Amino acid sequence: MKAHLLFPDRDFDSKADPPPQWPVVAQDLEVDTLLAAMAQEDAFLLDVAARTLMAACGAGDGREIAYRQAALRDAIDHPEQVKALYDLVVEAIESRKKHLFGMGLFGRYPSFNLRGAVELLQTFVQYLRRLRQQADSLAGSFRSEAFGTLFASLQRDIGDDYFDAVQEHLETLRFRHGVLLSAGLGPGNAGSGYVLHAGNGSRPGWLARLLHQTPPQYTFRLAERDEAGAQALSELVDRGINDVASAMAQATDHVLSFFELLRAELGFYVACLNLHDRLSALDVAVCMPEFQPQGSLRLQAQALSDPSLALTLQRAPVSNALAADGKTLVAVTGANQGGKSTFLRSLGLAQLMLHAGLFVAAERYAGELASGLYTHYKREEDAGLQGGKLDEELVRMGEIADLIRPGGLWLSNESFASTNEREGSELLLQVVDALRQRGIKVALVTHLFEAARRLRQQQAEQVLMLRAERLDDGSRSFKLEAGEAMQTSFGADLYADVFAAGVD
């Protein structure tokens, strides 16, 4: 059986390596805050959510995104039912713990292994039956292909005939009336070719036993205190049932692996529901994003906000609109502490969440798929650096250049600001020009006026210039508006805010 809740044609891979740019992207976009809200202090949900977002840092697959979005809509429409399914699967997996002690203590004895496997599989069958009942009751109310496929698979593969057959086999494997074996004699009269027979059957009735005064085959009986004989007989039985014990262990592992896979894939939607509940409680607008193929240059948003900031502040942050269809460059300038970096992070998280099949923090969002998401943010001074800050920035940019491909999205926050205006502007201009020539979309924040001025002059019809708004009294609205770069970032405002209280 397959879950197929995250992918239409393959299973969730809990051991897949993340794209190489993931650690940097996660740091720059503060993804840990988002993951913490999704996990709700559940380590398993944290791992599932992190691995799903890791993969989303790479190329977006429209088929998989649409498949997952439809399943997430179902989950949002039926949150209690999805959580109940998840809890049932977790309970099934946890139930194996009570069987592990005896199996571990007597693990080298096939008879004990078989007994433990039979009991564990019996327990799993009970949970499969409950899972099938859930599928029967929910199949008509879920509309997505993902949940429809899961429910149909459960109804098809574990029907009444399945349970009857499994129950019959389990009853046979309990060997309530003894074990029937056959074997030949090998070299030195040692036993060989042990075969376990299913025909141990039930014991004959009292009348049959009365009419047969002598046993129908040769028998021997052990003395009550013959420990050596009992051990030898036990070893004979173990040889005969060894293959069956191994097969039963594989059968329980197969069922367990199904439960574990189902837990992981259901866990993603439970994590999404956790995040949805948290953002809704903070009055943060969320929507299922629209998307177009790579190269469509689609980018529109209404009330786009930063979910990580909302979770940190515990309130809805200021949101922004964005109209960048047909643009290959979005450049943001303006007042310090005016919301530029927050906007850039909100854009990056929206792209990441889109690729993951998640909702985004906006009233409406329409974008294009990317071949990968990359970030290049300024770093604070690090005493452990072997070179200067500019050297470190260039090294990171070189690593991105080796990875990024046409159709990618590059987010830059104050890149090359560690040097002077002239040199920093020239470096930024050359990098942006090279990326755009390769069909890579760029969104950047910069205070380098010369760079911003010259970027506006390059293919002006494909450039959107945004500026952080500064009100007449010097306060910041944290809103962005279309506008050319200004020569000042109004650092004096910040100076006044910090030091004015101490000036007579």
Give the mean pLDDT of 442-463: 80
- 294's CB contacts (< 8 A; 6+ apart) are 368, 369, 370, 371, 407
Q: Among 126-135, 210-219, 273-282, 301-310, whose mean pLDDT is lowest?
A: 210-219
Contact by Cβ (8 Å): 21, 370: no
Separation between Cα atoms, residue 14 and residue 11, nearest integer Å: 9
Written as six digits, the tokens of 112 are 């004990």
Between CA 236 and CA 480 the distance in angstroms is: 81
DSSP character at residue 459: S
Cα separation, 19 vs 54, whole angstroms: 7
Lowest mean pLDDT among 40-54, 139-153, 286-300, 482-496: 482-496
Closest CA to 351 of 365, 331, 336, 333: 365
Q: Which of 271, 299, 368 is closest to 72 using CA atoms? A: 271
CB under 8 Å to 359, separation ≥6 — which residues?
72, 272, 276, 286, 287, 288, 289, 353
User: 299: how many CB neighbours lie within 10 A of its CB?
Assistant: 24
> CA–CA separation, 52 vs 18, rounded Å?
9
Q: Maximum distance among all alpha carbons in the chain? A: 119
Helix, strand, or coil (residue 487)? coil
pLDDT band (50, 70, 90) for residue 464: confident
Look at residue 494 in the predicted model and tell me its pLDDT: 41
Q: What pLDDT was estimated at residue 223?
A: 63
Q: What is the reported pLDDT for 452? A: 75
pLDDT at 105 over 50: no
Which is more confident, 392 or 125?
392
pLDDT of residue 192: 61
Q: Picking from 99-108, 158-167, 319-328, which range would have the lowest pLDDT averaged per residue?
A: 99-108
3-state class (DSSP) for residue 16: coil
| Cα dist from 392 to 207, 413, 419, whole Å | 93, 15, 12
Triad 144, 146, 150: Cα angle to 5°? 120
d(CA 370, CA 408): 5
**Sheet strands side by side (includes 299-304):** 290-292, 364-368, 299-304, 320-323
Domains in the chain and their CATH numbers? 61-181+219-281 (1.10.1420), 284-502 (3.40.50.300)
pTM (global) more than 0.75:
yes
H-helix segments, 332-481: 340-355, 389-403, 421-437, 449-457
pLDDT of residue 495: 40
Least trusted range by pLDDT, from 3-7, 155-159, 170-174, 188-192: 170-174
HSE-up of 424 (CA within 13 Å, CB side)? Answer: 19
- Residue-by-residue DSSP string for 140-206: TT--SHHHHHHHHHHHHHSSHHHHHHHHHHHHHHT-TT--EEEEEE-GGG-EEEEEEESTT-PPPPH
